Structure 1
Amino acid sequence: MSTTEAPLLEVEGLTKHFPANGTLFGRRGGAVRAVDGIDLTVGAGQSIGLVGESGCGKSTTGRLITRLLEPTEGTIRYQGQDIAHTSRRGLAPIRAQIQMVFQDPYSSLNPRHTIGRILTAPLEINRIDPPGGRRRRVEELLATVGLNPEHRNRFPHEFSGGQRQRIGIARALAAEPKLIVADEPVSALDVSIQAQVINLLGELRNELGIAFVFIAHDLAVVRHFCERVAVMYLGRVVEIADRASLYGDAHHPYTHALLSAVPGSTMPDGSKRERILLTGDVPSPIDPPSGCHFRTRCHKAKDVCATKAPPLTALDGRPDHRVACHFPAPAEVLLPTPARRLAKTP
């Protein structure tokens, strides 16, 4: 995306709080701060990855972008139009342009409908009448994702997990979207099938110019697929950069810990990266730590970390690499320190 081209998607201050019912030690429940004010920009045809531990808010962010969930606060601008609180009727023209591929290929397809019916539904809902008719379009979609067009008469239970996910991808493509949110699209698949699905998504991105928000916990997969990567922790983006900068020169302590868990991960100089074991548990999103959410597990935490939340700030001379940390530093500066529990990789 050029510097003068307007982004396809802009997310600013996006927040989602879920009410926490019930009581705890006699107190009324508060709110689960699933997404706690994040900013993202996605250009046309660009792929950005969202990574982090389970419960960090990745999937909720994806559902907010597709408006499957209503944001508590913030803006979601698609092609310049704020759709964060647009009515269902107002969203109708945009629904076809923003699609989603779900994590579980077994539960995301209606078992009572044939594949042909499943793929025809988006065309009917969005009132799309493609040249040659809808049946021909269904056959084209199946061929695009590597399935036999004759499979349109079969039911989901007749397919393997990888084939079902291909059908889910075909359904997302039916309305010719400009943006696809892929929520852990390969995590439920056999390892031998994951590469095939990732390569298929990459081919579709390159051939059709579709932008992707790719949600995953596997940093190796994200590195292969995404041009930019955003690291989330407890509802916030703590670091965002292009692929080479983040994997080669990360500056946030949490990002260092995630990268150290990637098999075969190396330092920028080619040496083996030491395994960083974070102490403690992930805090509850109902009552997150004050200031920096990561401070309770960070070996660099100081008093300021408890009183002031660090803004997502660009590194000196690197406007596209932003870090939310009061004391950002490259990995070399972090090795070794007695305050961390380390376990060297074999």
Structure 2
Amino acid sequence: MSEILVAEGLTKHFPIKGGFPVKRTVGAVQAVDGIDLAIRAGEAFGLVGESGCGKSTTGRLLTRLLEPTAGRIRYRGEDITHASRKELAPIRSEIQMIFQDPYSSLNPRQTVGKIVSGPMEINGIAPPGGREARVRELLETVGLNPEHYNRFPHEFSGGQRQRIGVARALALEPKLIVADEPVSALDVSIQAQVVNLLQKLQRELDIAFLFIAHDLAVVRHFSQRVAVMYLGRIVEVGPRDDIYRRPRHPYTHALLSAVPEPGEDGGTRERIRLAGDVPSPIDPPSGCRFRTRCWKARDVCAETVPPLIRTDGSQEGHLSACHFPEPPTVERDTEVVM
């Protein structure tokens, strides 16, 4: 399977201004710091990590809504790292985004028909049968009534608004969709419906997805491959089942231990409690960024950044960034019901 989007050494630092009377750069928030990522055509790729680790910034970098500080982004073999607006125009329609908040991402002054047809108007696309017919078809595809064409966003629930956002993302028949925590703002009872809809569309339309979330169960249900992010860096990446059943990085172990799941003896499995707080991205730890909270940390962890490589016993394609990876223990396989 060919790779549709590749990021190499992708970095985004937000400058901190200070000083008087002249504002000067006194530091930087290292939101994303040298990550490598590859998304294959037609696959569902999950990006998981706790709040503030840089997931959403990564999504905005890959869609070129943010300008990278360093690194390289290639889309279908073409370097788009610093492409101008004019140079990006031909591929804008192929990379779309579903935003986290369905309330702020829709213009309250526009009807559903106007919102969904907007991308077609901007790109000068006139589908067979007209734009209105195409919009009504898209509304039906995402599970809404085509008669909702003339309604306004305030007339819909959160789950319905997110479906409108999905219809807008599908309007230009994209090859890649970046879904930035698309269900975190929704009620739990509605989350499963939206995730199942996205999964159905991904399979039927053969669209590649970057699914960003902090909910491990949702990512496991949706994704074929998963990357785990901590404080601006990818610490582990691999096939879904290998990540969830045989995690090698201590941080991934700690994340999975926090998910309520019955153990082999009927009780709950042991929870790994991490010491301290997440360090500031303004002044992250040297070497391995997880070392200040890791129970396996040694001197080398502070001196050398661990490379993201395949570790002994890992399956091909399962990479971990740890000097002392966890043994590949097999946990009981449990079904995640959505």
The residue type paired with residue 193 of structure 2 is Q
- The match for 1:17 is 13
Deviation at 1:126, TM superposition (A): 1.4
2:119 to 116, 122, 130: 122
2:275 to 254, 279, 304: 279
Q: List 4+ stretches of structure 1 deviating above 6 A.
A: none
SS of 2:272's equivalent in the other structure is strand
More deviation, 194-203/314-323: 314-323
- The match for 1:70 is 67
Matches within 5 A, 1:188-337: 188-264=185-261, 266=263, 272-316=268-312, 318-330=315-327, 332=329
- The match for 2:51 is 54
1:235-291 CA distance string (max 9 Å, x none): 000000100100000010000010011121658x99843111111111010100000
CA distance in 2, matches of 1:31, 1:159: 40
What TM-score do the two structures reach when normalised by structure 2? 0.93
Task: Check the 8 A contact 1:103/1:186 in 2, yes or no.
Answer: yes
CA distance in 1, matches of 2:241, 2:249: 15
1:151 to 144, 148, 151: 148
Deviation at 1:64, TM superposition (A): 0.4
CA distance in 1, matches of 2:267, 2:130: 57
Deviation at 1:330, TM superposition (A): 2.7
The residue type paired with residue 293 of structure 1 is R
- Say if 1:92 and 1:266 are closer, same or farther in 2 by CA, change over 3 A: farther
CA distance in 1, matches of 2:267, 2:78: 47
CA distance in 1, matches of 2:262, 2:320: 21
Task: Give the CA RMSD over aligned residues.
Answer: 1.7
- Say if 1:229 and 1:295 are closer, same or farther in 2 by CA, change over 3 A: same
- The match for 1:341 is none
CA distance in 2, matches of 1:219, 1:249: 15
Unaligned segments of structure 2, at least 5 residues: 331-338
- The match for 1:29 is 26
CA distance in 2, matches of 1:163, 1:265: 34
The residue type paired with residue 67 of structure 1 is R
CA distance in 2, matches of 1:114, 1:329: 53
- Say if 1:93 and 1:214 are closer, same or farther in 2 by CA, change over 3 A: same
The residue type paired with residue 325 of structure 1 is C
- The match for 1:79 is 76
CA distance in 2, matches of 1:202, 1:314: 29
Task: Check the 8 A contact 2:246/2:329 in 1, yes or no.
Answer: no
- Say if 1:265 and 1:292 are closer, same or farther in 2 by CA, change over 3 A: farther
The residue type paired with residue 40 of structure 2 is G
SS of 1:75's equivalent in the other structure is strand
The residue type paired with residue 66 of structure 1 is T
Task: Check the 8 A contact 1:256/1:331 in 2, yes or no.
Answer: no
1:171 is aligned to 2:171: no
What TM-score do the two structures reach when normalised by structure 1? 0.91
- The match for 2:333 is none
Task: Check the 8 A contact 1:46/1:227 in 2, yes or no.
Answer: yes
CA distance in 1, matches of 2:47, 2:213: 6
Task: Check the 8 A contact 2:260/2:268 in 1, yes or no.
Answer: no
Task: Check the 8 A contact 2:99/2:105 in 1, yes or no.
Answer: yes
CA distance in 2, matches of 1:111, 1:79: 35
CA distance in 1, matches of 2:267, 2:37: 32
The residue type paired with residue 218 of structure 2 is V
CA distance in 2, matches of 1:99, 1:14: 19
Deviation at 1:127, TM superposition (A): 1.4
SS of 2:325's equivalent in the other structure is coil
The residue type paired with residue 213 of structure 2 is A
- Say if 1:19 and 1:331 are closer, same or farther in 2 by CA, change over 3 A: same
CA distance in 2, matches of 1:272, 1:12: 40
Task: Check the 8 A contact 2:236/2:318 in 1, yes or no.
Answer: yes
SS of 2:318's equivalent in the other structure is strand
1:103 is aligned to 2:100: yes
Unaligned segments of structure 1, at least 5 residues: 334-346
More deviation, 310-319/234-243: 310-319
Task: Check the 8 A contact 1:259/1:265 in 2, yes or no.
Answer: no
Task: Check the 8 A contact 1:17/1:32 in 2, yes or no.
Answer: yes
Query: Percent identity at matched positions?
Result: 72
